[in-house]
Structure 1
Amino acid sequence: MPQQPEAESEFAMRFTSTPRGARLARRLVAHRLDEWGHPYATPSNEALALITAELTANAVLHGHIPGRDFHLRLTPAGNAFRIEVTDTRAEKHFPATPSTPDSTSESGRGLLLITALADDWGVTSRPAALGKTVWVELCVPRYRSQRLPRA
């Protein structure tokens, strides 16, 4: 994986708590991963983009308070990435283990996907402010790009 300059060792941004904000967050994570040497079609980019989509959709659907945004942070650490999504709804808690929805349900599979893809995940409360942070860690193989380094 190419070395990132110190200023680019993390991607963090605030998004509107709307489906459009969640979609933009997923796209920007995929783009940043591509810039960091994990191209769009690689399993690591696809898995991290899917995890981002699930976490941000949950922030919009379950952690939304009108007028408040959600925050996303993507941090590389060696051969792993950590994604954190922070919302402002403290009273909505994640279950310790995801429940299995019935076969006719049209939703409720996001945490099952995260559990299947992630190496670790959890929820931390925000003692200094309202809300919670849902975090996911995923180890990824180093991808050797055939592209020339960007100038």
Structure 2
Amino acid sequence: MSTTRQQPPGDLGPEPHGVGAAAPATGSGADEGAPGGAVRTLALGSASGIVPLARDFTRQALYDWGWLPAATADRRAAAEDVLLVVSELVTNACLHAEGPDELRVACDGKVLRLEVTDRGAGQPAPRNPHRAGRPGGHGMFIVQRLCLDWGVLRTPGAPGKTVWAELAAPS
């Protein structure tokens, strides 16, 4: 597990047009969870095009929760950071953990938590030392740089794990 501090967001450009399609049938479109919080879950096990599906699902949650459309560059950057972290977590599960089973997106108004459950036994870690010019191996380095915190949860006696990451909600 690694603890990092949020870095100043960069300007990642304008929001793409036509974004915000309805959540797919494999996901829970309704918000669930504790008072003051919202949770959405998307089953990924048998889906095709998993990474774009996970990004679209998360983007729709951000629209529904008022993160998008973004009124400022900082708010747009915060939403883009969330989408990038979702892409990295799901891609890592595809490449290194026998594929993702589920994506969970939860927000309590202050922190947005992403969880990707997979079947793999490996331990994700940022490539150290990080070399920007080297292809591949940047996923967990990106997660570490953008997130407040991240880690791995395992259930004793059960296969797989849940890789989670937390980002600050825009102010």
> After the TM superposition, which segments of 4 or more aligned residues of structure 1 sit over 2 Å from their partners?
5-8, 16-19, 100-105, 126-129
1:119–1:139 Cα contact (<8 Å) kept = yes
Select which of 1, 7, 28 maps to 2:57: 28
Gaps of 5+ in 1: 143-151
Select which of 73, 83, 107 maps to 1:49: 83
TM-score (norm 2): 0.69
- Counterpart residue identity of residue 94, structure 1: P
Select which of 74, 78, 83 maps to 2:105: 74
| Residues 30-67 of structure 1: per-residue CA shift (max 9 Å, x gap) | 111111101155122111100000000000000116xx
1:44–1:140 Cα contact (<8 Å) kept = yes
The more displaced of 54-63 and 32-41 is 32-41
Select which of 87, 91, 94 maps to 2:124: 94
- Counterpart residue identity of residue 22, structure 1: V
Alignment CA distance shift 1:19-1:73 (3 Å): same
1:82–1:136 Cα contact (<8 Å) kept = yes
Identity of aligned residues (%): 32
1:145 maps to which residue? none
- Counterpart residue identity of residue 50, structure 1: L
Q: Kindly indicate which of the two structures has a greater share of residues assigned to helix.
A: 1
- Counterpart residue identity of residue 44, structure 2: F
Q: How many residues align?
A: 133
Two-structure CA RMSD over aligned residues (Å): 2.3
Gaps of 5+ in 2: 1-29, 71-75
